[in-house]
Every structure is written in structure tokens, then in C-alpha cells.
Amino acid sequence: MPDTTRAPADREITFAQAIREALAEEMRRDSTVFILGEDVAEAGTPFKVLAGLLEEFGKERVLDTPISEAGFTGLAVGAAMTGMRPVVDIMFGDFVTLTMDQMVNQAAKVHYMSGGKWRVPMVMRTTMGATRRSAAQHSQSLHAWFCHVPGLKVVLPSTPYDAKGLLKAAIRDENPVVFFEDKMMYKLKGPVPAEDYTVPLGVADVKRVGEDITLIATSSMVQVALGAAALLEEIGISAEVVDPRTMWPLDEKTLIDSAKKTSRVIVLDEGYERYGVTAELASVVATGAFYDLDAPVKRMGAMHVPIPFSPPLEDATVPTEQTVFEAARTMCGK
Amino acid sequence: MPNKKTKSKTNSNGNRARNGASRSKTPLLAKDARKGAPTPVSGLRTYSIPDMRLEHPDLSVRQSIEKDKDGTEHVRYEVTGNLDAPVPPIRDSKYLDKKQCIEIYRYMLLNRKMEVALENLYKQGKVVGGVYFGLGQEACSCASAYALDKDDWFAPMIRNQGSLLVRGFRASDTMMQYMAKADSPTRGRDGTSHFGDIEKRNMVSPISMLGDLIPVLAGVALGARLQGRNVAVMTYIGDGGQSTGVTYEGINFAAVQNLGLVLFVESNLWAYSTPSEMQYRCKDLAERAIGYGIPGVIVDGTDACQVYDAARDAVERAHRGEGPTMIEAKMMRMKGHAIHDAAAYVPKPMFDFWKKRDPIARFENYLVKEKKWLTAKENAELISEVERMIEAEREIAVNSPMPTPESAEGGVFCEDGCHEIKPKYGMPKVTKRTGGYKETEAAVHLK
Ligand SMILES: Cc1ncc(C[n+]2csc(CCOP(=O)(O)OP(=O)(O)O)c2C)c(N)n1
Ligand SMILES: [Mg+2]
């Protein structure tokens, strides 16, 4: 299916609506798709992302679970192995820790260990992102954990358009996919066509074309990078913003091509900078564009602390338009 | 004395013989909790769960489909049962005297008024994030914590802001947490009632991940026993949160090791938008105690005297080194999950039913009208004293500054000289081995 990112859409919807539409359309298209998680039915999740799905699809396909993340993730694995396409909802990304055994030791490995006989076509949707004043146990961005495990695909949409297309592709994928939604983006609006489309996993997207520096950014950091790019433009620096969209599969070529073109790269991600996905992305670029780079690749991620609760503290822990602007300006020698 | 196996004659399920059933010479008569009628059984194991309540509400909630004018289906929850049942009296406590009852009542008032103050602070835009309430659950929080001795430990969950007041924390501590202030116990790093105190009040800070506190508290008891003391460790879990696997693991370990866990299961009928009917299948969560091999008891969570008595029995059992107790407190979450949640999914008659069982109003009636332990005037004075106190605490909290961004970094690790935590009850004993170690071989397949 063609990626119509640049195709004009005659309507704008929010990120949350895009997720809901993707789920509803896939559930209409394929009766094996169903949702399970805590407070997904009547409440439609605390973020109201799933509001209305219970009404349309009934309580059998929008299933409220007991508070048992490890258990219902295992349930999804079993259902997926035997012909269903469950979409698991993990209310806060911080609770993925409870699902790790099922995801890492079972879902990720079944296809390989069975000699290709079994598969696990499930999607786990969860949240990430700080600055919602929710403290350290409700604010983490733990996507890097899954990226480390062969057998899991990891998706980080940054716009309503991408969210819808990527989620549909994830549901149709034959493998376990972990889908991270930044909870601060649910209200973000953007153009989304009404027609059916998917965004293939493993294709990066250039969100802004530029000449002097490349900002590789994921999820909510794409908006930060675009904001920084606008500030940079005012001082005569043309920044390109590239969104890998999926951490695995990873579109290395688009990242490297952009790096070769601009010769300077900053990688941004809301997860921890230390041992985070920025390390992998920077390494891909540093290796692939080695002879074209004018400066070492710079990485920016969350400060190496549990995310604090108080606003002045929390705001100091994540990259902002201003800090990215400063870093880019320094790198460009202006 | 640590590690001493005691044989106790508990009439519930504690320390039962390994083969299970309570045996008696006379033909076994089991009181089936569900039907209330004695059923003769032969060869069947029977267990019973003491129930201290003076009423047994028979309400149940189920999902139903409602069609609106244009035929669109809406899913609703419906409540059935006797919604007009009369309000039961407060059960006289086996242990509490007049002074103690009044003290608990005062803590319950403080608990409620503090939460009203928090709600107002929220409306004034002074709170960071949301506010959580224990409305309707004040008896459970306050009377349970009141049953602890000074050296015992506890860890509240989000509805137990009252427990903190009982243990001597100030209302301003919690208020400053909610406002993310620099002087809050966590210096702005965590919010709500998520803080602890290892020095004076023996409080382990709450963990967001439901159930995680249970093994952690059991671990506190294990550590204390290695230091030579049997302490009671009290914590709480919701009727939703108890569905987590870690709940099982924590209780089971405490049971196996006879650790002094006092676990309050707060059956408040909802877990966010999910009714307890979709959380578990047994009739009463206290029944789970049977499977763990520990005593389980049911109390009316809106009756401070029942809560206290059950908690005190459990605390004393813990002090004797006899192991954990599970106390199910039946009540109702009288607000939404947090301030943002209007709880539109809760059938209104359920709120009406439980409103009549308001723990403070009933306790007030008990103290003023029934026992005549408080005159109307004394009661009014007590209430205004509590209000003045909350107002003063609010002032302190509001006037605390916000932390500075520079303080975000650092403090992740306990560095040299940061602070010292010593075993509180003495150093664990070291037994000296005389002989050498016996050489053993690994199993063949592990070589
Ligand atoms: C492991 C885990 N899963 C999900 C949550 C999100 N969550 C917080 S409170 C709550 C509902 C808790 O209900 P219950 O345990 O009955 O306590 P109540 O709020 O009724 O006091 C949920 C789902 C969590 N904190 N931890
Ligand atoms: Mg509950």
C-alpha cells in the first residue's frame, strides 16, 4: 500500500483518534483482531483513546482484564499463536516490566525456536513520555528494552498520520510488535486521509528537508526537533528532521543518506541517553556516513535519573526545543 | 522469640495441620458462607472465614446493554440487590476504650478534611498532577494503622492517606507532596502520599505497581526476624490490585515463613472503571486466605471498631511470630479513581447505598448518640479544632518554595557518606561453623 504522507488529506484528527480509527478499521476488516487490557472497555482507557470501541465491538472483543499484566500478555501470546490477532493494552509504559517474561522469553522467540512453525501476530500498545507530572513510576520511556531483543518489532509513531498507518501495519504483521504512544501527543492534531492506508514498518520519513544538519528524532522528540529547526532557520541554519518511525526494523539507508548530505547529526529520543536507542542510531550513522561527517554524532535523551515529579525538576530531564537548538547551533559553529 | 514455631489454637485457618481440614469428632457441619445454611458434608474438607460484619450487603454489578433513541447500544453497569437495607450499628470493640475511639474518630476527621483541602488546592491550580481520595474508606485507613505498635512497619496505598496521619505524619507533608514542593518529604521528586520514613515512623514508601508492596513488606519482616524481632508489617491492596501475580508470591512467602504480614484487602467494589465482578470469581476475597493456609477475616470497612479489632488480632499474631493474616475490608470507593474521574460508570444507587454507611457519620453517631462519649458541644469543638489544624497545615504547605531545576540531577546512588542504614533491632547473629564443607558432586547432567 502506498505511503501517502505527503498526500493532501481533507481532514485533521488527533493522535488518539487516529489510534482508535486504526483499531476500529482493523477490527471491522478482520474478526480475529480483539483488544484486551485494564479499563479498555467502559472507560476506553484513562486517556480515552479507545472510547466507543466497546459500543461497536462488544465486550467479547474489547475485554476488560483483571489487573494482571503478566497474565493477560501471556493470554495474548497463546491466542496469537493459535490464529487470533490480539492487541494488548498496557496502560502505562512503566508496567511493561511486568510483561517482559512473556514478551522476551516467549513472544519474541517462538518463531525462531519452533523452526519457523509457530508465530505470534500480536501487538502490544503502551505509552511512553515524561512531563505529564506523573513521577518516576508513570513517566518512563522503556522502548529500548524491547529493541534489545531479537524477534520483537518496535514502533514509535510521531504524528496522527503515522500512528494510524503504522498501527494498521502492526496489526497485520505476522510478528509481535510493541507500539509506543507518547501520552503527551494524544491531543496532537494532524492530517489523516479517510481512505484505508498503512505505513510499512521499516521505512523512515523525512519530516523536514534541510541542508546543514540532520536531527534524527523519535516519537514526541520529532515535534521538539521541528520546533528547534524553526528556531535554527531564524539564524540561518537549515535543519533536516528524520524520523525512523520504527526502531526495528530500522531504515538505516534513509538515516545515512541524510547524514551524508548534511554532514552533521544529532540523535534525539525521550528514553534514557545512556544505553538508549540513540546509541544504536548514532552508531549506524557514524559507521555509514563516516567519511562525510564534520563532527561526532551527538546524542540527546533523558537525564540519567528516575523522572522526578516536580515540574522544575522534570522539565530539566528531557531535551527541549531550546536545548536542541543550542546543541545544533554549537555543532554548526554559529 | 524468632523462628519459634508456636502451636496456636486459632479458630480460623492459621497453622492448620498439613492435611488441611479442621477435624472434629462430631459429624462435620460446615457453614456454607454463600448460602448461610449448614450443609452436612462427609469426607469433604471444610473451612470457615470469620465475618465480623453486622450486615451482609448482597449487591452485585453486571454489564448491561442499553439502547438509546436512535438504537445505538450503550454499555452500562447495573446494580441489583437490596438497596434499601437498614444501616447496621457499629459493633462494640473488644479492645478500644472511649479515649481511643475518640482518637480514631479524630484521625478520620483529619483524613477527610485533609482531602477536602487537597481538592480545593487542586481547584485553585496549586496541585501538580491529580488528587486521590479515600472517601468512605477513612475507618479502614485510620483504625488499621492505629492497631500498630510503634516498632511495627506499614506501607500505605493511595487510598490510605489517613494511615499516615495516624502514624504521626503531618497533613502538610502530604499536601507538599501534592504540590511538588521543595520541602516535601521527597523534595519534589515524588508526589502524593508516596514517601516513607525509616527513622521514626517505619513507613515504606508506596510503590505504584500494584501488589509490589506485599513482598517488600514481607521482606521487612524477614529482615527484622533475622535481627531478632518479630514485627508486624501492615500494608494494603485493592480488590483490583490483588489480581496481580506478585500478590500471590508475596503472601505465599510470608505464609511459608510465618512472617508478620498484616494485609488489608480493600474491597471497595471498583478498580478504576472495572467492577470487582470482573476482577475475581470467589465470593469474598478473604476466602483466598484458605489457599494460602493463613487466617482470613472479613470486616465492615466502614466500621472503625471492627477494623481495629481485626487488625489488632493480626498484629498480635505477628508479634507472636505466627505468621500473616489477611483482612478483607468491605466498603465502597465513594469518588472516582482520582479527581479527573467522575465515575459516571458507577450506578448511582450504589453510591446512595454506601453514602448511608459513611464511616465518619456512623462513628460520630456511635460516639455522640449511642455511647454518649462525646457531647454535641465537644464534638463540634473537635471538628473545628481539626479544621483549624488543617488550615494551618495548608498554609505551611502552600508557602513552601518549588525545588530548583539544578537539584534534578544527582542522588541516584547512595554515595559514600550519603547516609547510613543500620539494622534497627540489632545485628543478625553469626553462627560459627566448626567442620569444613562437605564436597558434593554436581548432578551428571550439570557437569
Ligand atoms: C501493576 C499495575 N497495573 C496497573 C496499574 C494502574 N492502576 C493504578 S490504580 C488502578 C486500579 C486499582 O484498583 P484497586 O486495586 O481496586 O484499588 P482502588 O483504586 O479501588 O483503591 C490501576 C489499574 C498499576 N498502578 N499497577
Ligand atoms: Mg478497588
- Collect all residues of chain B within an 8 Å Cβ-Cβ radius of residue A303: 408-409
Assigned domain for B203 exists:
yes
In this structure, what C-alpha cell is assigned to residue A183?
501520552
Q: What is the DSSP string of B168-227?
A: T--HHHHHHHHTT-TTSTTTTSS-TT---BSSSS-BPPP-SSTTTHHHHHHHHHHHHHHT
* A309/B128 Cβ within 8 A: yes
The values of phi and psi at residue B89, to 5°, are: -75, 170
Report pLDDT for B46.
Answer: 86
Query: Which of B131, B210, B274, B335 has most ligand 1 atoms within 8 Å of its beta carbon, as the pocket-test mutant?
Result: B210
Pairing of strands A12-14, A265-272: unpaired
pLDDT classification of B366: cutoffs 50, 70, 90: very high
The pLDDT tens digits for B57-98 are: 989 998 887 888 887 777 789 999 999 999 999 999 999 999
Domain parsing of chain A, residue ranges? 12-191, 205-331
Q: Which domain holds residue B260?
A: 58-97+137-170+189-332+346-358
Domain with B165 in it: what CATH number? 3.40.50.970
Assigned domain for B15 exists:
no
Catalytic residues of B: 333, 337, 345
Task: Determine the topology of domain A12-191 in CATH.
Answer: Rossmann fold (3.40.50)
Average pLDDT score over residue span A33-44: 95
Assigned domain for B45 exists:
no
Instruction: Give the position, in ligand 1's atom list, of the atom nearest the Cα of B157.
Output: 21
Report pLDDT for B419.
Answer: 80
Contacts by B368-372, CB closer than 8 A, 24 or more apart = B370/B89, B370/B90, B371/B98, B371/B101
Q: In Å, how far are A156, A200, A267, B19 from A159, measured between CA atoms?
A: 10, 15, 18, 61
Report pLDDT for B88.
Answer: 97
In this structure, what C-alpha cell is assigned to residue B344?
459516571
pLDDT at A333 over 90: yes
- Listed range (A85-89, A278-282, B22-26, B257-261) with the worst mean pLDDT: B22-26
Give the separation between CA A291 and CA B214, rounded to whole angstroms.
56
The pLDDT tens digits for B101-140 are: 999 999 999 999 999 999 999 999 999 999 999 999 999 9
The pLDDT tens digits for A122-148 are: 999 999 999 899 999 999 999 999 999
Domain A205-331 coded CATH 3.40.50.920: yes
Number of domains, chain B: 1
From B186, B241, B405, residue closest to A312, measured CB to CB: B405
The pLDDT tens digits for A265-293 are: 999 999 999 999 999 999 999 999 999 99
> Are the C-beta atoms of A128 and A144 separated by less than 8 Å?
no
* B129/A136 Cβ within 8 A: no
pTM of the predicted model as reported, rounded to 2 decimal places: 0.91
Assigned domain for B241 exists:
yes
pLDDT, chain B, mean: 90
pLDDT at B283 over 80: yes
pLDDT, chain A, mean: 96
pLDDT at B10 over 50: no
- Report the separation in Å between the CA atom of B210 and the middle of ligand 1, taken as the mean of its atom positions: 6
CA B357 to chain CA centroid, Å, is: 19
Do A12-191 and A205-331 have matching folds? yes
Assigned domain for B165 exists:
yes
pLDDT at B27 over 60: no
> Coil, strand, or helix at residue B28?
coil
